Amino acid sequence: MKRPPWSRRSFLQTGALPLVALAPAGAGEPASSNRVLEPARELPFAGCWDVLVAGGGPAGVAAAVSAARAGARTCLIEQHGCLGGIWTVGLLCWILDHANKPGLMAEILRELERRGARAVASDGRPTNGYDPEVMKLLLDELCLSSGVEIHLHSRVCAARCVGRDLTHAVIESRSGREAFAARVFVDATGDGDLAAQAGCSFDLGHPDTGRTQPMSLLALLTGLRPADIRAFYRDDHREAGAAPKDRLRAEMERGGHSPSYSQPTLFRLRDDLFAMMANHEYGVVGTNARDVTAATLRARREVHALVDGLRSLGGPWANVRIVATAAQIGIREGRRIRGRYVVTADDLRDGRRHADAVCRVTFGIDVHATDPGRGKGIESAPFRARAYDIPLRALIAADRDNLLTAGRCISGDFIAHSSYRVTGNAVRLGEAAGILAALAALHRSAPAEVPWDEIVRRLPAPPGSVS
């Protein structure tokens, strides 16, 4: 009987995946070589799942919960010690482009509100903000109650493919390296780490310059009385204008420090707890660990200097303190994995609709300055985007038949990515990817072969949809 490519025995019989081991000087390559031979060895086989999701951020949690609820045995891999990604580890406690997203996005917002963890404006209406600590627990409970097997403190470090199928993800943790098999995989790492390890083609940065959008390190602040600093933050996501940001920048400059992001922002979360985004790290690449390290160190130093400067002004700032800086710097842009469809600027310009639409994007073009010499805020958009669809094809990897993407690493160009990358869309894309992955795994078929009507029956339709 022919063994499936993901089985334990076939994995061992076709050769173990290589692992890094430094050879001593004189044993193998010369000491001056900039490469080290990695000897092969057998890896422990962790088991096989219907669906394996890499990355436990908004897209990954949505994919895992949706796959499990659809009946698939699902495993979720997350490198940090909690789920939520940029929502929790990154402290971006403000959800964009969520209003027209039914299903899981709406469920999460309702539950945050029920738990008293959703931020409210001065008139009592809920805003886009939330308490990140409650979000952590909520995401844990969503996954566990759906039957998702969670692996924290674990990250993808290699992949094994047979033909056009991805058969194993190699996961590294405190337990060492292990091989995880699945019928269908979802890359929700943000940076497309699993897809890149599996040899998928991708794009990164602006097509002309190669530059990527800057990173930002967020922080939680306390010691602020909302009534005293009302002029420096937007009380409601429905408010327009940059005046609060301009006034906050002027205060920071008055305190002796001009922020590297010219539109610093305060988000009120609850009582005297605020989130702050006030810095840009330019010229760094999210897939380069040295870049991310250097950016994090610089950003943390700047954030503390900005807050110290505000406190030195006295008045409403006299008691402002940093509760925490994010454990992970916010990376806006990583690999864009090439799929069966590429979302482009033309989709935004034309407001395109697709028969296999899974997400309606209403957020505009939002390119944070890539060249600080030309400005340190948001770059001027080449045109005004219209609401547009992301088709399911953009989530199916072009180079692997059983690999899907979700979140900001889906298939798109530089301009389109700046619009769909926000977390309300990430949740919706993850939900669609999870449903498709489960159906493909349970049908023993490739995702591209799953009948569209089966997906539509399970994916909650947005208001006004004809689906």
pLDDT of 168 > 90? The answer is: yes
- Flag the least confident range among 11-25, 126-140, 387-401: 11-25
Judged by DSSP in three states, 39 sits in coil
Percent of the chain with pLDDT over 70: 91
* pLDDT tens digits for range 27-49: 444 555 788 988 888 999 999 99
User: Of the CATH numbers 3.90.1170.50, 3.40.190.170, 3.90.190.10, 3.50.50.60, which one belongs to the domain with range 46-208+333-458?
Assistant: 3.50.50.60
Give the C-alpha separation, 466 to 462, whole Å.
Answer: 9
pLDDT at res. 467:
38
Identify which of 364, 412, 363 has the alpha carbon closest to the alpha carbon of residue 384. 364
Compute CA distances 221 → 229, 269, 451, whole Å. Answer: 13, 10, 49
| Nearby residues of 110 by Cβ (< 8 Å), 6 or more positions away | none
Instruction: Give pTM, 2 decimals.
Output: 0.92
Encoded tokens for 74: 């699902």
* pLDDT tens digits for range 270-326: 999 999 999 999 999 999 999 999 999 999 999 999 999 999 999 999 999 999 999
Q: Higher-confidence residue: 211 or 13?
A: 211
Give the residue range(s) of CATH 3.50.50.60 domains in the chain.
46-208+333-458
Across 105-130, b (16+ Cβ under 10 Å) vs e yields bebbbebbeeeebbbbbeeeeebbbb
Compute CA distances 201 → 336, 340, 414, 442, whole Å. Answer: 9, 12, 15, 27
Percent of the chain with pLDDT over 90: 87
pLDDT at res. 5:
54
pLDDT at res. 463:
57
pLDDT at res. 28:
47
pLDDT at res. 39:
86
461 falls in which pLDDT band (50, 70, 90)?
Answer: confident
DSSP for 2-21? PPPTTSHHHHHHT-PPB---
User: Looking at the domain that runs over 219-325, which CATH code has it been given?
Assistant: 3.30.70
**What mean pLDDT is predicted for residues 80-95?**
98
Give the residue range(s) of CATH 3.30.70 domains in the chain.
219-325
Sign of the dihedral defined by the CA atoms of residues 123, 124, 129, 131, in that order: positive
* pLDDT tens digits for range 343-379: 999 999 999 999 999 999 999 999 999 999 999 999 9
Angle at the Cα of 183 from the Cα atoms of 430 and 41, rounded to 5 degrees = 110
Mean pLDDT of the chain: 92
